[in-house]
Amino acid sequence: MSQLISAENFAKVAQFGDLFKEGLVITLLLSLLTVLFGFILAMVLAVMRLSNVCPFRFLGLTRDGHLREQGFLVALSRFNPVSFLATAYVEVFRATPMIVQLWIVYYGLFDKSVIDLPRVTIFGFIQLERFLPGVVALAMNSGAYLCEILRSGIQSIDGGQTEAARSLGLNQRQNMRFIVLPQAIKNTLPAIANEFVTIIKESSITYTVGVKDIMSAVNATKGSLYIVMEPLIVATVMYFCLTFPTSKIIAYFERRMSRGDKR
Amino acid sequence: METRDSLIQVTDLKKYYNKGTIKALDGITVDINRGDVMVVIGPSGSGKSTFLRSLNLLEEPTGGSIIFDGVDITKKKTMGPDGKMVKVDIDKHRQKMGMVFQHFNLFPHMTIMDNMTLAPIQVKHMDKAAAEEKALALLDRVGLKDRAGAYPIQLSGGQKQRIAIVRALMMEPEVMLFDEPTSALDPEMVGEVLEVMKELAQEGMTMVVVTHEMGFAREVGNRVLFMADGQLLEQGTPEEIFGRPQNPRLQDFLSKVL
Ligand SMILES: Nc1ncnc2c1ncn2[C@@H]1O[C@H](COP(=O)(O)OP(=O)(O)O)[C@@H](O)[C@H]1O
Ligand SMILES: [Mg+2]
């Protein structure tokens, strides 16, 4: 009986070195794109959730144009379909497993009959028709989580900031862009960094739809060599090398951005 | 009521909270004339802040009207010059009303210079160099020219409030609203802020000032309003209000603060 972990086996895994290298690049690209699109989605969702679009507002006004005080019409006048949509999205994506979302996106949304992606291979090893659904699913999922992070960050900004901005004549958009969002993003950087690290780890699930990431290299090695611990250890080291520096880099930017907080 | 050079006419202004159970403003009628330094006094919770914040619609009134530069800003629409109904652009009106808050509300993530030039550049599309030149001139006036590159946290309370005042002045407002501008300050810093406000008053700026500084009210104010329970109980010149108070509530209030 062979030992659980042996140097000999590591040597065998080395034959699959290229698979692991490509897997590393794919995991990295997957996470970067997810972070980018997830963050954009989250900003849109957060602004939607905190928006003030009330199409039935006029129902809450009395004949002479002042606010009604109570009743069904007041509730209806406060209904915000934009915020409702964003809230529903966030709740659904946070209440269902990642793998279900990934499979629905891959087998449902990117089915040939719905969105037919060309069979393109980028850099010789990234299969677009598997990679892109992976990015989309991960970004849709992390967008929901990042939205909640951003939203709590936005709400934690002192209301006096908005009042000062509006009293200077800035409109709601400018207030968001110049005053609220920069402070909210800064305050939530640690939480956002955590989410980025989570994405790198969660992206490993995309091997189930055939994305050739690090985890997929483990799977391939296991399948042909019947060894599992050694490739897993290689994968562990690789994931750690991705996540650890990421949190350090973000911590550095956090320190730089907090200049305004220090004496 | 004096209507000569009237800038803001407030009529029967009401603001209710909690479905009308809290009447923060219960029918305020007052005219603010150009050049007025109107000081608003009254016990805590009497609606002074709500009144001031309603003037630039940081609070949406429950009833009444505020006519500013001839436009009722509490309405969503108004009659345009050509007789058509046009939307009331509240952002435009807010530019013409500077506001100074008890807690300064400087933007902590920006330098003093950026705090001051943001609105002129973004809202008035002022040229950056011109805005900075203007900011430096104003900073010089309040003795803080050398702090242009500092962040708000690096300043004392009195310095922050002086910055907040000149930040509002950058927009060249027609009226300045002050909500207890010295209440959050250490006593030794109150004077430097009041001094800036006094100079502003002497230059003819229209000001509405909520304050507990009775010395300032007496010396700088030309009209004093006394509010209690959301109502305007008495108004007059400082001599009238402090020398011959009529309303028992005012007499009681003055006996406590003077
Ligand atoms: N957002 C609010 N919701 C409910 N009540 C409020 C709100 N803002 C102010 N009030 C109430 O309105 C009254 C007047 O408040 P305020 O204008 O702040 O008084 P002052 O500035 O004179 O101390 C107080 O009774 C206060 O509790
Ligand atoms: Mg107050």
- Distance in angstroms (rounded) separating the CA atoms of residues A176 and A181: 5
Do A102 and A93 form a contact (C-beta atoms < 8 A)?
no
Residue A194 CA, distance from chain mean position:
11
Can you tell me the mean pLDDT for A209-222?
A: 90
User: What's the confidence (pLDDT) of residue B2?
Assistant: 45
> What rounded mean pLDDT belongs to chain B?
93
Percent helix, percent strand, percent coil in chain A, to nearest 5: 75, 0, 25
- C-beta atoms of A167 and B94 within 8 A: yes
Nearest CA to ligand 1 atom 4: B17
- What ipTM, to 2 d.p.? 0.92
Contacts of A256 in chain B (CB under 8 A): none
Residue A263 pLDDT exceeds 50: no
- Distance in angstroms (rounded) separating the CA atoms of residues B222 and B251: 20
CB contact set of A89 (below 8 Å; sequence gap of 6+)? A45, A144
Can you tell me the mean pLDDT for B99-114?
A: 96
Cα B238 to ligand 1 centre (Å): 26
- Distance in angstroms (rounded) separating the CA atoms of residues B172 and B16: 32
pLDDT digits 0-9 by tens, B196-243? 999 999 999 999 999 999 999 999 999 999 999 999 999 999 999 999
- C-beta atoms of B91 and A65 within 8 A: no
pLDDT digits 0-9 by tens, B187-200? 999 999 999 999 99
**CATH code of domain A7-257:** 1.10.3720.10
Structure tokens at B28: 């305020």
pLDDT digits 0-9 by tens, A25-42? 999 999 989 988 999 999
CB proximity under 8 Å: A 150-179 to B: 158, 160-161, 163-171, 174, 178-179
Cα B24 to ligand 1 centre (Å): 6
- C-beta atoms of B91 and A169 within 8 A: yes
Can you tell me the mean pLDDT for A139-165?
A: 94
Q: pLDDT: is B37 or A63 the higher one?
A: B37
Structure tokens at B113: 């210079």
Residue A262 pLDDT exceeds 60: no
Cα A122 to ligand 1 centre (Å): 62
